[in-house]
Amino acid sequence: MKHNKTVHDTTMQFLSQPGVRNHKIRVRPSKLVSLLVAAAAISGSLAAEVIEERIGTQYEPIRLVRVVDGLEHPWSIAFLPDQRMLVTERAGRLNIVENGAVTPVSGLPDDIHARGQGGLMEVLPHHDFENEPWIYLTYSRGDADGTATTLVRGRLQGDELMDLEQIFTQDRKSGPGRHYGSRLAWTTDGYLLMSIGDRGGQPPRAQDLGDHAGTLLRLTETGEPAPDNPFMEQDDAHPEIYSYGHRNIQGLIVDPESGEIWSTEHGPRGGDELNVHTAGGNYGWPVVTLGRDYRTEGPFPHAEARTREDMIDPVYELLPTLAPSGLALVTSDRFAHWKGDLLAGGLRAERIRRLVIEDYEVIHDEELLLGKIGRIRDVREGPDGYIYVATDKRDGAIYRIESAR
């Protein structure tokens, strides 16, 4: 069986138990999306440029449209309730994109350190933005001596962030440049997930519950630990941690029906993972990994084995190397044959992987857009039902994938 394809005519309900484990990724499209599709499609097409009119795939012929270009290493895409798009540029800019026009947003942090993989990264509106107009941003805070993955929020008023406040920063700075993690997602019970990478230099930090590196955090909307987090009562553990043993999570979604948390994360050479998260789970890095050492192609130096009974194996190893970044769950009726599938973007691989999952097993894996637009940094389903993709280039762009039926 594929994920549930039944269209439910009800609204999303928050689950009382985080990390509930059902046997399917289920999809509940919103009525609001259906009502806004026509208007959004018209307004979004005004400045768009068709790059390829028809690209064949196994089930859904698609059209590739460039929405906006001239962005410097765009990192994250998000949408406001009025259909405007938010886009971060790693160099330290946040933009509002509307009908192809780019408006910079002022009021950002003044200590963004853009170097290597760091800079301004994720953007995510509050889950109840119309009543709580907060915008959440992650960035690498610090200087050439050390940086920390940091979370701030500000109220969006016009093209300015007001009342900017730092609500979380990891406990320890590291040499700048690598493995910041930095994806955000709202859980169905209203908490904020935030990934932090192992920061590259000392992989065993990901096994230390007294260190934020190599973890997935679960926070309140004000940056405090969620009150029922798994390590709240453990003296030697940070209470924000939800799961640990991660190398660098850069794709993150929450299934709106089941509440399940899915992620993609970087392995070393090989070993890129698709995971579903369990509260308190240890995902093994670097004690266990399916990847290899970059230099020797032998076993990774800190690894004891490829798997271990007391550590959680990935649902799927993304081979050949994907270098994952950006993950979306297809809920739209626009892509009937993809509905319920995951779309995993790839940086080094320059492609999207469409993953069909049944009972926590990937039963089909299709390659999309191989080499057509370059390194893929983010993949999102828009409120209009289309798929939006950001490319990681000095002259980067946002593309829209449409059905060509």
Kindly report the average pLDDT of the chain as a whole number. 89
Q: Assign 8 a pLDDT band (cuts: 50, 70, 90).
A: very low
Residue that has been written with the tokens 């509940």 in this structure: 28
Cα 394 off chain centre by = 21
Q: Is residue 2 part of a domain?
A: no
* 85 pLDDT more than 50: yes
Q: Assign 303 a pLDDT band (cuts: 50, 70, 90).
A: confident
Q: Is residue 107 part of a domain?
A: yes
In the structure encoding, which two tokens stand for residue 197, read together?
């990478």
Contact 283, 215 (CB under 8 A): no
Q: Is residue 25 part of a domain?
A: no
- Classify each residue of 96-111 as buried b or exposed e, where b means 16 or more C-beta atoms within 10 Å of its C-beta: bbbebebeebebbbee
Question: How many domains are contained in the chain?
Answer: 1
Tell me the per-residue pLDDT of 111-157, one tens digit each, with 9 for 90 and over. 999 999 999 999 999 999 999 999 999 999 999 999 999 999 999 99
Tell me the per-residue pLDDT of 173-193, one tens digit each, with 9 for 90 and over. 999 999 999 999 999 999 999
Distance separating alpha carbons of residues 278 and 101, to the nearest angstrom: 41
Q: What is the pLDDT of residue 302?
A: 87
Q: Assign 296 a pLDDT band (cuts: 50, 70, 90).
A: confident
Q: Assign 289 a pLDDT band (cuts: 50, 70, 90).
A: very high
- Span 270-284, average pLDDT: 97
For residues 124, 152, 250, 34, the Cα torsion angle rounded to the nearest 10 degrees is 0
Closest to 335 in 3D by CA, of 125, 60, 100: 60
Amino acid, res. 285: W
Q: Is residue 219 part of a domain?
A: yes
* 310 pLDDT more than 70: yes
Q: Is residue 11 part of a domain?
A: no
The backbone torsions φ and ψ at residue 143, rounded to the nearest 5 degrees and listed phi first, read: -150, -165
Tell me the per-residue pLDDT of 12-59, one tens digit each, with 9 for 90 and over. 333 333 333 333 444 444 433 333 333 333 333 336 899 999 999 999
Distance separating alpha carbons of residues 137 and 392, to the nearest angstrom: 18
Active site residues: 179
Q: What is the pLDDT of residue 301?
A: 85
In the structure encoding, which two tokens stand for residue 137, read together?
């941003």
Whole-angstrom CA distances from 365 to 57, 101, 119, 127, 152 are: 12, 36, 32, 31, 36
Q: Is residue 18 part of a domain?
A: no
Q: Is residue 305 part of a domain?
A: yes
Q: What is the pLDDT of residue 39?
A: 38
Residue that has been written with the tokens 């992620």 in this structure: 263
In the structure encoding, which two tokens stand for residue 62, read together?
């698609």
Q: What is the pLDDT of residue 17?
A: 39
Distance separating alpha carbons of residues 186 and 375, to the nearest angstrom: 26
Tell me the per-residue pLDDT of 328-363, one tens digit each, with 9 for 90 and over. 999 999 999 999 999 999 999 999 999 999 999 999
Q: Is residue 15 part of a domain?
A: no
- Classify each residue of 284-300 as buried b or exposed e, where b means 16 or more C-beta atoms within 10 Å of its C-beta: bbbbbbbbbeeeeeeeb
Q: Is 192 helix (H, G, I), strand (E, B) or coil?
A: strand
Q: Assign 405 a pLDDT band (cuts: 50, 70, 90).
A: confident
CATH of the domain at 383: 2.120.10.30
* 172 pLDDT more than 70: yes
> Domain range holding 188?
31-403
Distance separating alpha carbons of residues 85 and 95, to the nearest angstrom: 8
